[in-house]
Structure 1
């Protein structure tokens, strides 16, 4: 039995596996810790391995083969499987179908006791020959199938019916290696859960309809759905017939060539006549298939249009009900009241602004005298700050000023009248007085223009 499943971390621990593979105690009360550890490990491993292999049922013999390590089979498997059936982790296929997939441990015990009391107990089979169903995986895989079908129906906008083959294809698309028997288990569980319905048409063809988006129970198929289903079946049948006819045409062509090469002209002509009839039949079948496809397209378009029209009718009715309580006079009164409230709010804002404005007079104009006084005080403070600021550094490359130059600059800044110097060619009369130098700047020094003097009267 080829199967790929993920082995647990303890699988390579020989000491741990020897403990887990040992026989179960005769009763749980003897060693409850060992009993619980072994049964939980192996029952969980059965479920997880079947999930990895996309199985919802497994034969007891396959369980034994799957868990055989180095030629040794766990001695506790029979007890583990029996305990798993009592706990509801596993179900035998017979009890699953007989009790409609809902037999509890108590019901199982009552049925077994009643069979012994009536004197007609069923002879127990070896657990190796029993097929066990895993209810948890049946529910999980069925939910996955419904989710995939709902996704397709949502994208296409319709809930198509399935043939039995189509349902098998859907299940195997969700869980690729799923067997046909397991698909049957899923279909029975979905039918019991009111998520699947099986119908028969006029010629006893089975039609399967699945629930969409949590629909329960499944609504019966409508006439357009049945018509589309039967047309799709015709298309599938015609496609198969067209493929067969094309294969026959190809064989007739090859056979006619061989007979012609062998000199069997009459046989070659007979094959060509048959090929001509097949070509005519092929043309007819292709035309029929094209007409059916156009009919399917038209039916689907009409079905979609009906859904759109129904939605629009519901929308118009809701629109009408929403507009029923609206009165144009009430709307006008509401707007007038809104305007009055808005004007009142503006007046309140104006009053609040007047109460907190310091420089606004009664007539609404600004009182500038106080602002002018504040501006003068700011300018005065700035002037005092500039007077105490450090002087600018001398310009690089300028020659140092002479003492006479500095004296003249100071005199000009203090606005002291200066007597213009006499001509340089005129000799100085008082030799004891220092020579008057020209106040012009020496070559290479910065030229400072003299400031205009003011009379004492000014």
Structure 2
């Protein structure tokens, strides 16, 4: 897969170029004074080609001899790459791998900040360093084997890695080879451990990663602590280191138990096969092996239970510690708030007492305003007697109306035409009968 990718990459750098132009580009540089335009154009082409190929291959470091393998055309390799490497080194695009690895942590992580600090804030030291580098470089020629690091590319790759690993504000610890696997998955490519270390070192320069070398469960393993999002990294504490070891031991035990379980199933199948062949002694030997595997599984499960219990208690203690810190923060904020507002128990009691006094005074005022201010000159008894007389008069009027009852009047005669015709018919009938 990698070889196919490289082939495609090699087809891109020379796309659209004629054979004559490629022959000029791959030839050695002539003296710049002869033709400055052609010299600068050729230099610009190779710088851009190297950067583009570096991005496609996810390679932040390279040597001149490695670059020759990137730009092969009809069996030929460029004869001018050392000049390009030297020019890129002089303009600050690249640094030697040794120089890059010696760079220490910086509070402001950016190569542009580095340039500002060097060119603006410390012009005198920059001038001395520049003269020194020019003297050294003139006396020390560049060679094909020295590795160089592209500063902007390694910073970009480090930022991309950090955006994947720093998912929240909590810091995380990894093995270096685990980060390498993450990069392989991220770019769908085979990233070397050397490239991984350079990318991590770029994060270390930015104070976003802390690297600790040593033996951790497996010999020659390197621990890398990645800072939480928006935070700077702190050294790995003993608690974090031991907790990480427990988590790794848990993973190892789970893997071993899974393998033992597969081995147990395989032994059962073998025993059944020999039983079917009527070879019971051999079948019994496989069953004995199965019993031994089961005992080993039981031991590993007990160890796993113990480790998981310790992990759970450590996580619980971390949680309790965070809760206690939150309580302390809240208490401090509450005290500060009370201090700023001047809120005390004495002030509250005094205010409530004044409030009760004011409310009592208000009730007295309301009661005073509700009293009758006009004196009533009439006798209440006389008013009651007058009211009784009025009631008696009403009752006498009602009784007199009942005594003089008007009788019912006769019905009003009906003088309608239909009744008259009916009356005439009756009279006519009576005449006929007589």
Q: Normalising to structure 2: TM-score of the pair?
A: 0.61
- Tell me the distance in 2 between the aligned counterparts of 1:147 and 1:16: 45
- Tell me the distance in 2 between the aligned counterparts of 1:187 and 1:215: 16
Aligned partners of 1:22 and 1:75 also within 8 Å: yes
CA distances 1:329-356 after superposition (whole Å, capped 9, x unpaired): 7998xxx9xxxxxxxxxxxxxxxxxxxx
Choose which of 248, 266, 289 in structure 1 pairs with 2:304.
289
In the other structure, the counterpart of 1:428 is none
The DSSP-based 3-state class of the residue aligned with 2:174 is coil
Q: Could you tell me how far 1:107 is from its partner in structure 2?
A: 4.8
In the other structure, the counterpart of 2:291 is 276
- Tell me the distance in 1 between the aligned counterparts of 2:163 and 2:88: 29
- Tell me the distance in 2 between the aligned counterparts of 1:305 and 1:98: 41
Are 2:186 and 1:182 equivalent residues in the alignment?
no
Q: Could you tell me how far 1:279 is from its partner in structure 2?
A: 1.6
The DSSP-based 3-state class of the residue aligned with 2:340 is coil
Cα–Cα, structure 1 residues 250 and 9, in superposed 2: closer, same or farther, change >3 Å?
closer
CA distances 1:66-123 after superposition (whole Å, capped 9, x unpaired): 323455544543432332233332344455447779997655434446xx5xxxx7x9
Q: Where do residues 15-414 of structure 1 align in structure 2 (5 Å cutoff)?
A: 17-18=21-22, 21=25, 23=27, 25-94=29-98, 96-97=100-101, 106-112=131-137, 125=143, 127=144, 129-151=145-167, 153-154=168-169, 158-177=170-189, 178-199=191-212, 206-216=222-232, 218-327=233-342
The DSSP-based 3-state class of the residue aligned with 1:221 is coil
- Tell me the distance in 1 between the aligned counterparts of 2:302 and 2:318: 24
Aligned partners of 1:10 and 1:16 also within 8 Å: no
Cα–Cα, structure 1 residues 100 and 67, in superposed 2: closer, same or farther, change >3 Å?
farther
- Tell me the distance in 2 between the aligned counterparts of 1:306 and 1:173: 36
Aligned partners of 2:64 and 2:81 also within 8 Å: no
Query: Runs of 4 or more off by more than 6 Å in structure 1?
Result: 6-10, 98-105, 201-205, 328-332
- Tell me the distance in 2 between the aligned counterparts of 1:179 and 1:278: 38
- Tell me the distance in 1 between the aligned counterparts of 2:62 and 2:215: 35
- Tell me the distance in 2 between the aligned counterparts of 1:12 and 1:38: 16
The DSSP-based 3-state class of the residue aligned with 2:224 is strand
RMSD: 3.8
Cα–Cα, structure 1 residues 95 and 8, in superposed 2: closer, same or farther, change >3 Å?
same
Aligned partners of 2:29 and 2:80 also within 8 Å: no
Gapped regions of structure 1 (runs ≥ 5): 337-458
CA distances 1:166-197 after superposition (whole Å, capped 9, x unpaired): 33334444444222110122233434444332
Q: Normalising to structure 1: TM-score of the pair?
A: 0.59
- Tell me the distance in 1 between the aligned counterparts of 2:62 and 2:248: 34
Higher helix share: 2
Gapped regions of structure 2 (runs ≥ 5): 106-113, 115-125, 356-434
**Aligned pairs, number:** 319
- Tell me the distance in 1 between the aligned counterparts of 2:130 and 2:278: 80
Q: Could you tell me how far 1:56 is from its partner in structure 2?
A: 1.4
Aligned partners of 2:161 and 2:183 also within 8 Å: yes
The DSSP-based 3-state class of the residue aligned with 1:162 is strand
Q: Could you tell me how far 1:22 is from its partner in structure 2?
A: 5.6
Q: Could you tell me how far 1:237 is from its partner in structure 2?
A: 1.5
Aligned partners of 1:64 and 1:77 also within 8 Å: yes
Q: Could you tell me how far 1:276 is from its partner in structure 2?
A: 1.3
- Tell me the distance in 2 between the aligned counterparts of 1:238 and 1:137: 40
